[in-house]
Chains A and B, each alone.
Chain A
């Protein structure tokens, strides 16, 4: 069935040549293409990973900024409200002081008027007393002569 057992050896030689050709001409470009493809995929994945990380960072940063702004706004509102309270308080104090001043002034005026009225009444009382006494004693009393006496009397009232 075989021409000779040696043909098996000859075919092994043929096969060796074939293996050499594959190793030299087929394998390197094939593995190179595979390696390039692999590298491309790896690079792409690495890039997307980086982009994702950058996105994460940017998001965290934005959140931080937002939180900061919110905190600042709160502070400002608080400041404003305390300032407004302060203003109201100041205004209230001013008003109270004004009221006190006006009340004091009014009281002083009232006192003055009272004193004036009293003075006037005193004057009139002295006259009345003189007139009354004149009538009682039916004798003209020189008002001027008794002025001092009457004024003393009036002052004691």
Chain B
């Protein structure tokens, strides 16, 4: 890594933490301010850094694909690192979604609905219909699950349309070195959700077929009940089972990560031309964002339906 890498400078700035790869050499002013301490002084120093300095393209892109990690300077591959930005943003969005639905439900009337109630009802109707089409068991859990997945993934994806540098810059000035606001572009968030779906697939398999029925299916399903085929059957079933959450998470993550990266690359163009490719990409996103949310939701329903129904 080049010593001029701005990421490293920010680490130095945030209190001389040298956990990540090296110490920067070209930000004496900032280091001084950081050492002098005081939150306000540091904030001012960060603001002037944003105003005056320019990073090279590589450092800029790197900054945008790095999560705010806790503990600071931990190894990126360490599985016990907290991605604070992803967690914070998903919590805020999740609470917003719950609050939004709550407001719609709280003032609900049996009469002519108000604007908010009308919108919430439309959303619920839409999800309910999607569930009805593919899942024929009891819908009292799968319906709300599908609504939650759709709403939350949609909000995650919508964060991609916020101008890429706005929130990271504000958070940088306030003291967070990195801040990614698109949870679905952090592999952990889609995987967290799809692992929940995996657990539900297994639970619904047992619920629909019973322990014995599901066990029998695992050993005899694709090729037949010959004892010689038990092991190949089981292996294939396990692969199939794992492929479901992996494909769910990867599809969402891949789409949104690539989209975010393209926004970042567009931000590297001269500022007066950005609105042309940026605008086109944003318009394309109006399709991608709800489509990915819908896909995640409907595939979850289909997987649960397949698990629940007897063959």
Question: Do chains A and B interact in one complex?
Answer: yes
Residue A8 at the B interface, CB < 8 A? yes
Q: What residues of A have a CB within 8 angstroms of the CB of B50 in the complex?
A: 1-2, 5
Q: What residues of A have a CB within 8 angstroms of the CB of B172 in the complex?
A: 1
Residue B70 at the A interface, CB < 8 A? no
Total residues of chain A contacting the partner, CB 8 A: 29
Q: A2-B54, A10-B271 are in contact. Are A17 and B60 (CB under 8 A)?
A: no
Top 5 nearest A-B pairs (CB, nearest first) are A17-B279, A14-B278, A10-B274, A13-B275, A10-B271
Residue B211 at the A interface, CB < 8 A? no
- Name the segment of A19-27, A55-63, A134-142 touching the other chain: A19-27
B286 & A8 in contact (Cβ 8 Å cutoff): no
A1 & B6 in contact (Cβ 8 Å cutoff): yes
Residue A77 at the B interface, CB < 8 A? no
A11 & B60 in contact (Cβ 8 Å cutoff): no
Nearest-Cβ distance from residue A40 to partner chain B, whole angstroms:
10
Q: What residues of A have a CB within 8 angstroms of the CB of B269 in the complex?
A: 10
B271 & A16 in contact (Cβ 8 Å cutoff): no
Residue A41 at the B interface, CB < 8 A? yes
Q: What residues of A have a CB within 8 angstroms of the CB of B282 in the complex?
A: 14-15, 17-18, 21
Q: B interface, by DSSP: helix, strand, loop or mixed?
A: helix
Q: What residues of B have a CB within 8 angstroms of the CB of A8 in the complex?
A: 163, 165-166, 169
Checking A21, A25, A45 against B111 with a beta-carbon cut-off of 8 angstroms, the contacting residue is A45
Nearest-Cβ distance from residue B120 to partner chain A, whole angstroms:
11
- Docked Cα-Cα span, A14 to B266, in Å, equals 10
Within 8 A of A (CB), among B263-311: 263, 266-275, 278-279, 281-283, 285-286
- The closest CB in chain A to the CB of B7 belongs to A1
Nearest-Cβ distance from residue A89 to partner chain B, whole angstroms:
67
- Docked Cα-Cα span, A21 to B271, in Å, equals 20
B267 & A3 in contact (Cβ 8 Å cutoff): yes
A1 & B55 in contact (Cβ 8 Å cutoff): yes
- Name the segment of A31-39, A110-118, A123-131, A148-156 touching the other chain: A31-39
Residue A9 at the B interface, CB < 8 A? yes
- The closest CB in chain A to the CB of B62 belongs to A1
Residue A121 at the B interface, CB < 8 A? no
- Docked Cα-Cα span, A4 to B50, in Å, equals 8
Nearest-Cβ distance from residue A4 to partner chain B, whole angstroms:
6
Q: What residues of A have a CB within 8 angstroms of the CB of B21 in the complex?
A: none
- Docked Cα-Cα span, A8 to B60, in Å, equals 13
Nearest-Cβ distance from residue A94 to partner chain B, whole angstroms:
75
Checking B49, B115, B268, B271 against A34 with a beta-carbon cut-off of 8 angstroms, the contacting residue is B115
- Docked Cα-Cα span, A15 to B158, in Å, equals 13
Residue B119 at the A interface, CB < 8 A? yes
Within 8 A of A (CB), among B66-117: 111-113, 115
A1 & B267 in contact (Cβ 8 Å cutoff): no
Q: What residues of A have a CB within 8 angstroms of the CB of B279 in the complex?
A: 13-14, 16-18, 21
Nearest-Cβ distance from residue B10 to partner chain A, whole angstroms:
6
Bitwise interface map of B from 181 to 200 toward A, beta carbon under 8 Å scored 1, else 0: 00000000000000000000
